[in-house]
Structure 1
Amino acid sequence: MSSWSTADIPDQTGRTFVVTGANSGLGASAARALAAAGADVVLACRSVEKARPIAEEIGARARVEQLDLADLSSVRAFADRIGSLDVLINNAGIMAVPKSRTTDGFEAQFGTNHLGHFALTGLLLPKITARVVTLSSVMHATGVIHFDDLNYERRRYERWTAYGQSKLANLMFALELARRFAAVGDERESLAAHPGYASTNLQFHTENPLTNALMKIGEVVKVGQPADQGALPELYAATSPDAENGLFYGPDGFGGLRGAPTVSGYRPKAADRAVARALWDESEVLTGVTFPV
């Protein structure tokens, strides 16, 4: 696996992928690679205008569908429009933004990164034939699931703490879905991935000048890697016949920040089944979406 690249993606002809946030960064890189391997790709993006140039670049195998993960009515409308698909890649996300709310009143990072994708996966699950891949981050290590105040209604807001909670929730959701598939003998798979430190627009739109500057320094000194490289773990998880249900994939280099995809470790708290079940139950309550598994 240490030298795995887009050249190793098996032929995807006849398969359909939905990639959220495919208008730039990791999502755009993943969509290009999947289409190049023969797949039909749905670019699920909040801004159709921003996604259209990527779809036009890819060609006939790509189409754009509007999806705002910060608005559950948009998530439901998207799920209603989409037909059968093979793989859902929950790629979109926001990072370290100022305190704000989704349309439904959730803290923006938890609401967009986790609850939006949770609802989307649940609504699309009857139509998914093969895999769900959910992007987390090395920042899951900083996360804590605060059941007493998931949406920062009482505690002091700190953008990186909120981001860590959302990324831990992403990972716990992917692992719990994998366990639920296995428990009922469902042959579909749920996998998680992270890009390491990938140089994408996400890093430079935190609305914090100091953070943006530090991210830029990281890019200059080559701590990170280009988006095309950062997308490899999610592509491996989505397409490799060797990828396994319930595993977490990320770069194999120093600190998991760069390199070719490999099985990645995660903090023990991400494997806490009691917390995962509680998070699942609360997510169903908050979104109104229940899973047929």
Structure 2
Amino acid sequence: MAQPLWYPPTLPDLTGRTVVVTGANSGLGAVTARELARAGAHTVLAVRDIAKGRAVADPLPGRTEVRALDLGDLDSVRAFAGGWSGPLDILVNNAGVMPVTRETTADGFESAVGVNHLGHFALTNLLLPYITDRIVTVSSGLARIGHIDLADLNWEHRAYRPMRAYGQSKLANLLFTQELDRRLTASGSPVRALAAHPGVAATPLDRHLTGFVGASTTFGYRFIAQKEVDYGALPTLFAATEDLPGNTYIGPGGRSSELPRTEKRRKADSDPGTARRLWDLSVALTGTDAPTEVAV
């Protein structure tokens, strides 16, 4: 396989910098944590399964930590943030779930939006006083099938459609990134919010998919997948380490995995009114908001 034009050894020296990667016990998160650690970062793997997290962290060079974080439980999110001290240079909001049936989090949220958006929303706001450089949130190309239903974000009144629910949560990631970056910029903060998506990457995210959806996904992996999971992590690594403006959305560089590139946002991905209303609803649901100096 030809080496891509931009790949992990291209990463800058991250010695002295601290990074948190959520969902780093497998898939894209494990690769992201591995490469950031190899580049010298103090890498914190924020995971639900400590044993799996340690299995990833133990072989890595440099300073790594494994800390418990269940994004489907706001008490766990608060405990993680409450235990943090010292500067945090980069937060990578990577963890995600792709449900098959409607399930709920510990706080009663529909699981896709609860973990993929609301959990990361709360985590980011609670850690924001410590963040010095950037927040990278991993979205998905399936954001294009999403629709933000502010009146029924948790799918309590609609017929549940798993892929649409996942798409809504990934669209929420993009709108969250936009509104967060707007608030940071307006406050004069040097911190940036960016988003990335992996293309089609074979990861454990879909391990519970069955039936037509599962078969379609397997077909996609065999015939149109964006190489292996290592390549799927390139856009996240690029967004986390390159000098990019806030609210940049990075995707894969094509079938040959060339330089990750800026994605064009659709109108639905960047509607400022929806982004602000989603923010307000997320504040109400999670009880968290950006610190006063950036809550504008």
TM-score, structure 1 as length reference: 0.95
What are the residue-to-residue correspondences of 1:79-90 with 2, within 5 Å?
A: 79-83=81-85, 84-90=87-93
The structure 2 residue matched to 1:20, chosen from 16, 22, 25, is 22
User: For 1:193-234, what per-residue CA distance to the aligned partner results, in whole angstroms no more than 9, with x for missing partners?
Assistant: 00000111113333x233222222222224332111110111
Per the alignment, residue 37 of structure 1 pairs with: 39
User: For 1:9-63, what per-residue CA distance to the aligned partner results, in whole angstroms no more than 9, with x for missing partners?
Assistant: 1000000000000000000000010011000100000111111100112144211
Code of the residue aligned with 2:275 in structure 1: it is A
What CA distance in whole angstroms lies between the structure 2 residues aligned with 1:87 and 1:67? Answer: 17
What are the residue-to-residue correspondences of 1:1-293 with 2, within 5 Å?
A: 3-83=5-85, 84-206=87-209, 208-241=210-243, 243-253=244-254, 259-292=258-291, 293=294
Mean CA deviation greater in 25-34 or 55-64? 55-64
Q: Could you say what secondary structure the match of 1:191 adopts?
A: strand
8 Å CA contact retained: 2:6, 2:258: no
Q: Could you say what secondary structure the match of 2:136 adopts?
A: strand
> Sequence identity of aligned pairs in percent?
50
Q: Which runs of at least 4 in structure 1 moved beyond 6 Å after TM superposition?
A: none
TM-score, structure 2 as length reference: 0.94
What CA distance in whole angstroms lies between the structure 2 residues aligned with 1:265 and 1:61? Answer: 36
What CA distance in whole angstroms lies between the structure 2 residues aligned with 1:209 and 1:82? Answer: 42
Deviation at residue 98 of structure 1 after TM alignment: 1.4
What CA distance in whole angstroms lies between the structure 2 residues aligned with 1:19 and 1:211? Answer: 28
Deviation at residue 105 of structure 1 after TM alignment: 0.4
Mean CA deviation greater in 182-191 or 218-227? 218-227
Q: Could you say what secondary structure the match of 2:237 adopts?
A: helix
Mean CA deviation greater in 114-123 or 259-268? 259-268
Code of the residue aligned with 1:180 in structure 2: it is R
CA RMSD in angstroms, aligned pairs only: 1.5
Deviation at residue 184 of structure 1 after TM alignment: 1.8
Which structure 2 residue ranges, 5 or more long, are not aligned? Answer: none
What CA distance in whole angstroms lies between the structure 2 residues aligned with 1:155 and 1:117? Answer: 24
Which structure 1 residue ranges, 5 or more long, are not aligned? Answer: none
User: For 1:248-270, what per-residue CA distance to the aligned partner results, in whole angstroms no more than 9, with x for missing partners?
Assistant: 0001216xx96541101122111
Deviation at residue 185 of structure 1 after TM alignment: 1.5
How many residue pairs match? The answer is 288
Code of the residue aligned with 1:179 in structure 2: it is R
